[in-house]
Amino acid sequence: MTPRKKKWLKILATPPLLACLWLAGVYVVQLFWNHITVGHDTTFVDGPTRDGMIDYIAAVNDHFHQGVTPANNAMTLLIKLRPASAFPPGTDVRERTWAMLDAGAPTDAYPEIPKLDENPFSTPNEDHFYEHAKSPWVGKDDPKATEYLELQERHLALLTEACKRDKFWCPLVQKDPDDMLIVADQSWGYLRGLARALAVRAMKRLGEHDFAGFREDVRTLHRFGRLVGQSSSMIGRLVGVAIDAVASQAETNAAISGILTNEQSLALLEDSRSLPAMPKMGDAIDWTERCSALDGVARLAAHRIAPTGLPYLAWPVRPLPIHYDTIARDMNRWIDRMLAIDGSPAPEKNAASKKFTAEFEAECVGSPSVAVYGMGTAAARWWAMNVLLPNMGRVFQLHDLCIEQENMARVALVLAAWHAEHHDYPESLSALPADQLNGCQRDMFRDADLVYRRTVEGYVLYSVGTNARDDGGKGRKSGAKDADDEVITCPLPQVVDKKE
């Protein structure tokens, strides 16, 4: 062989040889790196395990199932109201969910409520029906809405019975054995629909002077929100917050309607004060959201998933050495920072949430230093930050806003009691009995009272909201840029029927 041919042979053989050496080196490194060391700072839990990996879905279900029995679990009854169409088609998720709840074999004893006609010119359509939750109404004035409400009476009766229980546990169920925790099945839409229908019935009862029935429905709504607020997932707890907001709005609408007597207003106020605290978001974040992120990292380490949403990284990342323990520790670090925010008072929490959001988004957008993490670890960590770990800074603000809405509803009830006795509204909140207010006039989002102004027809009451800025009583629906005051206007503006 001539020297020239030998030279070209070396040139051609060098790249494959280097590639083989690189892959051999990566293989050796990944013998030590290509797994996650079990520990609180990495995997968070040490079991149970399945197929050589921690079964995070089982771990989360076990944690939230503690102290729950079929007799005290509201979901054992509420599962009967979840229509078969709300379960993933072509799977046995429905059967396994019922079995895990020990609710017996699935039945259709409570058929799915027909959808409201979406045609805006037909009655009742969805907008028309749910408008009735805004003010007291009488059944004979809207026979079609009354008929639609009557279709749901059995469902609402079961909901009321379920809300007499103390626990709420809805298991996370995989559609497929290899599903990640992040896609495990839990459906919440039907629960929100039940809450809105119950609010419509409550205002009908109030309009027909059935105060006892209205009071029962509002109590049920508040308990419903607090039960769903025990959910294992952050989304479920946000649904609980939304349901409780429906209850607070029903109390507010009753307070500004002019229907309530002094005694009725104070009875509703006492009911509201006797409620247990709204469950915080922390437990769901500490367990479900954390375990969801770690489950994704563990599956990536075991090559059981490709980086969803970034298909071009699936194979290029695999030949790179990735230190998965570093990624897992980073996930835990951000979760711990989120949880630290939750223990602060609302004004400090608001500032901390904004700071957290800014820093989290900056780190998600900006790639971490390759020199610090290595190319493979940096790429996988960037994917995990953007896909597996949601930014939950806003979640705490929504929880605090729910509590603020409850407090504002209580102030509105105190004002209703005053109006029933004096036939007018006071010039300031300081004129109201302190034992009735009991501190609920304080604005959670700043160190001051709620803003209260007398008007010709009634009053305006508002909180500065989560931006902690007085926007002059302009709320999110006002159209004013970035305005988010939480506002009660008495009396309510006249609702115009859309058919007119």
pLDDT value, residue 419: 95
79, 101 in Cβ contact below 8 A?
yes
**Domain for residue 67, yes or no?**
no
56, 181 in Cβ contact below 8 A?
yes
Same domain, 363 and 320: yes
Average pLDDT in the 392-405 region?
86
The number of domains in the chain is 2
Single out the residue in 391, 421, 455 at which a domain terminates: 391
Distance CA 258, CA 260 (A): 6
Same domain, 11 and 54: no
Average pLDDT in the 287-316 region?
69
Smallest CA-to-CA distance from 162 within 171, 151, 154 is with 154
188, 227 in Cβ contact below 8 A?
no
Same domain, 28 and 53: no
**Domain for residue 21, yes or no?**
yes
Same domain, 293 and 343: yes
**Domain for residue 71, yes or no?**
no
pLDDT value, residue 14: 73
**Domain for residue 153, yes or no?**
no
**Domain for residue 84, yes or no?**
no
pLDDT value, residue 174: 85
Average pLDDT in the 388-399 region?
78
In the predicted structure, residue 215 carries a pLDDT above the cut 90: yes
Distance CA 425, CA 128 (A): 32
Same domain, 291 and 327: yes
In the predicted structure, residue 101 carries a pLDDT above the cut 60: yes
Smallest CA-to-CA distance from 58 within 231, 286, 327, 288 is with 288
Same domain, 13 and 56: no
Same domain, 310 and 359: yes
Rank 74-78, 140-144, 350-354 by mean pLDDT and report only the highest. 74-78
**Confidence class of residue 466 from pLDDT cuts 50, 70 and 90?**
confident
Range of the domain at 337: 49-60+284-391
In the predicted structure, residue 252 carries a pLDDT above the cut 90: yes
**Domain for residue 330, yes or no?**
yes
pLDDT value, residue 357: 80
**Confidence class of residue 19 from pLDDT cuts 50, 70 and 90?**
low
Distance CA 32, CA 457 (A): 74
**Domain for residue 123, yes or no?**
no
Each residue of 354-381: pLDDT tens digit? 788 888 877 776 555 555 566 677 777 7
* Helices (runs of H) and strands (runs of E) counted in the chain: 20, 7
Same domain, 54 and 29: no
What's this model's pTM, rounded to 2 decimal places? 0.87
**Domain for residue 437, yes or no?**
no
The partner residues of 489 in beta bridges, in order of sequence, read 460
Single out the residue in 334, 361, 391 at which a domain terminates: 391
Same domain, 1 and 56: no
Distance CA 219, CA 465 (A): 25
Average pLDDT in the 153-161 region?
97
Single out the residue in 391, 414, 439 at which a domain terminates: 391
